[in-house]
Copies of this chain bind each other. A is one copy, B any other.
Amino acid sequence: MRNQKAYLDCLQRPQAQMLWREALTRCGYFADLPSETVIISESLGRVTACSVYAKQSVPHYNGSAMDGIAVFAPDTFGAQETEPIRLQLLSPDTPFAPGGCYVVDTGDPLPAGTNAVIMVEDVHFVDGSAEIIAAAAPWQHVRIIGEDIVANELVIAEHQRIAPVDMAALLAAGLEEVDVIQKPKVAIIPTGDEIVATRAELRAGTILDVNSPMLAAAVTAWGGDPHRHPIVRDRREAIKQAISSSLECNDMVIVNAGTSAGRDDFTSDVLADLGEVLVHGVAIKPGKPVILALCKGKPVIGLPGYPVSAMLTAELFVRDILLARQKLPPAETIEIEATMTKQVASTMGVEEYVRVSVGNVQGKMVAALLSRGAGLLSSLTKAQGMIRIDSIQSGLAAGSTVPVQMLRKSRPEQTILAVGSHDLALELLGIFLRRRLEHVSLTCANVGSMGGIMAIRNNEAHIAGVHMLDEQTGRYNVSFVNKYLPNMTGSLVHFATREQGLMVLPGNPKGIHDLNDLMRPDVSYINRQRGSGTRMLLDYELQKSGISFGQIAGYEKEVGTHMAVAASVAAGTTDAGLGVRASARALGLDFIPVAKEQYDLLLNFSPDDERLQVIIEILQSEEFRREVESLGGYELGNAGEIVSLVAEV
């Protein structure tokens, strides 16, 4: 059970990468590259297989570089303002005679016998002759043959990526085709009994194969030519057959997944049969159960099944190999320094990669942790950066400055970090902002109202959505802001009045009418997390009605957003949950109103920040109001008004 053992003795990532690279170098994987011939107009971005030499000189003839007259330079010597020289104008078909000249346009071939051109501006034409008042230096204003490229000279060196100007140079140098390195063919084999290819086959317990298109696109982006194999069931022989046949006509094979050591995980055993398993298991999170193998001199990579793990391990163990195979330099990542807003715990001995949002808040670049689950695609689509927590670290302290590898074309200077209470309308604000300010993006982290206030206090966010009821005053937000943000430089502005209520299945099958029904033994509830405004509202309303928490089945089950509550109810997993009307409407649920609340925004920008003004303008606009109110349960009558904090004190 060699592989089993290898899996237990996880390698560290840098060692695994080194071993991988060395093994592939040793077997000649980066040396012996198949090439193909393409016509030059289709060679953009391809890599030359060998050095390309000019077949003809550029220019291919001596030509005039100006409009003017072509002369024999010695005939002009001595000409000056006081002693002009007259040259006889010859017609193009007349052979050259001393003292003669020809009219030429730019690009015209230099007539035999002449060796210089005088610009038309410097010529005075009189009576069939050309009068000049300055001598011409030999070869002046002549583009001589080979001035740009000489026949047989190197045009483009081998292993160079062809750019548009290279194409022009190759064509000018007389080439019509060019030998380029073949795009590496990469087979992608999805495996698993639970994987299905189409939405039609989807049911509880099956998973759509989203990894294959994702990996195929990544391979394309890295210059490879992906070949997607049909889904293979968890049968040892079937997997072996798929890998074996894919090795025939591909330069690399990716198997996804079956890479753990579970009872249906055959990938490692199959690869040991077909070749040599170099690495099984790397001390990284996510992505530990990765397999690196060499079969028939080709790399076979087993990637784990969770999408985030699959993508991360592909970046670590596929990307640079694929680029090197095309003689392209490794991918460059842009790294910036940012301050962690929250502490991140991590296991010693394991290198962990966490996804973050990054933005500049009041001059400080901050990184806010996104969800860490290996299955959470949304954490990748929302991520702007990735932080690598070294295996010798036990985590990152809140407030520590760490290097962040920026993803895609992230523009942290243009990112607005919104935190606090989750609200659908906040996402709409982001979309409106992007329409007004190009390339600005808004990312929402749902940490509840109290979390939002704390983030503003620590300058860790630009916007916080808050809806906190002060039981004493019966008013929302103001007293909390005064208490926790006594020195706030930003402002609190009205966003919307929202309806909160119980979401239940359509038709209300359990007959739930108010909070009292939550005490019924046949009714299960799903709660929001502590610190969220909705949780505070529930607790306040329960107290008013004299209901104790212990009487509610499911009170302890917490989720982070209105939509997660709605989704749980819609799936029939729970019978009721408190949330805004818009969430109920989004999933087609019935809604039993409980209370109206004021949802406001804390804005934390420098007073001269363009974005502040634009946000206020959007909030006050008729268009935004209409779009938010159409979500249901919102009233935006006073949206964009600045809430007076002084009057409250």
Task: List residues of A whose CB falls within 8 A of some B CB.
Answer: 40-41, 44-45, 51, 57-63, 65, 67, 106-109, 115, 138-139, 143-159, 161, 163-169, 171-172, 174, 176, 194, 199, 202-205, 207-208, 210-211, 213-218, 220-221, 262, 307, 311, 324, 327, 329, 373, 375-378, 380-381, 408-409, 411, 427, 430-431, 434-435, 438-439, 441, 554, 556-557, 559, 561, 563-564, 566-568, 570-571, 573, 586-587
Query: 15 more A-B contacts (CB under 8 A) besides A144-B573, A164-B217, A165-B377?
Result: A41-B216, A41-B217, A45-B221, A59-B375, A60-B202, A63-B205, A144-B559, A145-B571, A146-B563, A152-B586, A168-B210, A172-B307, A172-B377, A327-B438, A329-B438
Interface-central residue, A65, A204, A409, by most chain B CB under 10 Å: A204
A553: min CB distance to chain B, Å: 9
Q: How far is the CB of A329 from chain B (nearest CB, A)?
A: 5
Is the CB–CB distance between A210 and B171 below 8 Å? Answer: yes
Q: Which residues of B are found within 8 Å of A568, using beta-carbon distances? A: 144-146
Contacts of A115 in B (CB 8 A): 557
Indicate if the CB atoms of B199 and A167 lie closer than 8 Å.
no
Q: How often does this chain occur in the complex, in copies? A: 2
A101–B391 alpha-carbon span in the complex (Å): 38
The answer to whether B210 and A161 have CB atoms under 8 Å apart is: no
**Other-chain contact of A563, B108, B150, B157 (Cβ < 8 Å):** B150
By a CB distance below 8 angstroms, the chain B residues around A154 are 427, 431
Q: How far is the CB of A551 from chain B (nearest CB, A)?
A: 14
Q: Given A158-B434, A377-B168, A431-B51, are A62 and B571 neighbors across the interface (CB < 8 Å)?
A: yes
Q: A138 — which chain B residues lie within 8 A by C-beta? A: 554, 556-557
Report the bound CA distance from A340 to B77 in whole Å: 37
Which 5 A-B pairs have CB atoms at the shortest separation, nearest pair first? A146-B567, A109-B204, A150-B563, A168-B214, A61-B204
Q: Are A563 and B167 in contact (CB under 8 A)?
A: no
Beta-carbon contact of B329 and A165 below 8 Å = no
Q: Can you name 24 A-B pairs with beta carbons within 8 Å?
A: A41-B213, A44-B220, A59-B375, A62-B571, A63-B205, A65-B375, A146-B563, A146-B566, A147-B375, A152-B563, A153-B563, A159-B434, A163-B221, A165-B311, A167-B210, A167-B214, A167-B217, A168-B213, A168-B311, A169-B380, A169-B381, A172-B208, A172-B210, A329-B439
Residue of B51, B202, B329 near A411 (CB, 8 A) is B329
Q: Within the assembled complex, what's the spacing in Å between the Cα atoms of A63 and B176? A: 58
State whether A165 touches B214 (Cβ < 8 A).
yes
Residue in chain B with minimal CB distance to A58:
B377
Task: Name A168's contact: one of B307, B559, B570 (CB within 8 Å).
Answer: B307
Residues of B within 8 A of A167 (CB): 210, 213-214, 217
Pick the contact of A164: B61, B202, B311 (CB < 8 A). B311
Given A311-B165, A556-B138, A564-B144, answer yes or no on A205-B381 (Cβ-Cβ < 8 Å). no
Which residues of B sit under 8 angstroms from A153, Cβ to Cβ? 427, 563, 586
Q: Whole-angstrom distance between the alpha carbons of A61 and B215 in the complex?
A: 24
For residue A221, which residues in chain B have a CB less than 8 angstroms away from its CB? 44-45, 163-164
Which residues of chain B have C-beta atoms less than 8 A from A202's C-beta?
60
In the complex, A147 Cα to B570 Cα: how many Å?
Answer: 13
- The residue that A157 contacts in the complex, of B67, B211, B431, with Cβ under 8 A, is B431
A570 contact set on B, CB distance < 8 A = 57, 145, 151
In the assembled complex, the CB of A558 is this many whole angstroms from the nearest CB of chain B, namely: 9
Instruction: Report whether B563 and A375 are in contact in the complex, using a CB–CB cutoff of 8 Å.
Output: no
Least CB distance, A562 to chain B, in whole angstroms = 9
Contact B157 A441 (CB under 8 A): yes
A174-B199, A207-B107 known; A567-B378 Cβ under 8 A? no
Report the minimum CB–CB distance from A337 to chain B (whole Å).
19
Closest to A60 in B: B202
Is A151 in contact with B587, judged by CB distance below 8 angstroms?
Answer: yes
A205 touches B108 (CB 8 A): yes
B434:A376 contact, CB within 8 angstroms = no
- What chain B residues lie within 8 Å of A45 (beta carbons)? 221
Structural contact, A165 and B44, CB atoms closer than 8 A: no
Residue with the highest number of chain B CB atoms closer than 10 Å, among A169, A203, A262:
A169
* Residue picked from A211, A220, A427, A571, most chain B C-beta under 10 Å: A571
A109 CA / B587 CA spacing, docked (Å): 21
Chain B residues closer than 8 Å to A155, beta-carbon distance: 378, 381
Most buried by B among A59, A63, A150, A216: A150
Q: Given that A63-B204, A109-B204, A378-B169 are contacting pairs, would A151 and B567 also be in contact in the complex, using a CB cutoff of 8 Å?
A: yes
For the complex, give the distance between the alpha carbons of A194 and B59 in Å.
13
**Chain B residue at smallest Cβ distance from A166:** B381
- State how many angstroms separate the Cβ of A510 from the closest Cβ of chain B: 16
Instruction: Indicate if the CB atoms of A561 and B381 lie closer than 8 Å.
Output: no
What's the Cα separation between A324 and B439 when bound, in Å?
10
What residues of chain B lie closer than 8 Å to A62, measured between beta carbons? 571, 573
- Min CB distance A288 to B, Å, is 14
Instruction: With CB as the reference atom, state the residue of chain B lying closest to A407.
Output: B163
Report the minimal beta-carbon distance from A503 to chain B, rounded to whole angstroms.
12
Residue pair B381, A171 in contact (C-beta under 8 Å):
no
Task: Output the least CB separation between A417 and chain B (Å).
Answer: 15
A307-B165, A380-B165 in contact; A213/B63 too (CB < 8 A)? no
A51 to B210 CA separation, bound complex (whole angstroms): 20
Contact status B157-A557, CB under 8 Å: no
Query: Closest CB of chain B to A188's CB: distance in Å?
Result: 12
Q: Which residues of B contact A381 (CB under 8 A)?
A: 155-156, 163, 165-166, 169
Contacts A108-B205, A213-B168: A67 and B262 contacting too (C-beta < 8 A)? yes
A30 closest partner in B (C-beta):
B438
Among B150, B213, B556, which residue has its beta carbon within 8 angstroms of that of A566?
B150
Complex: A8 Cα to B474 Cα, angstroms:
73
Assess the B169–A561 pair: CB atoms within 8 A.
no
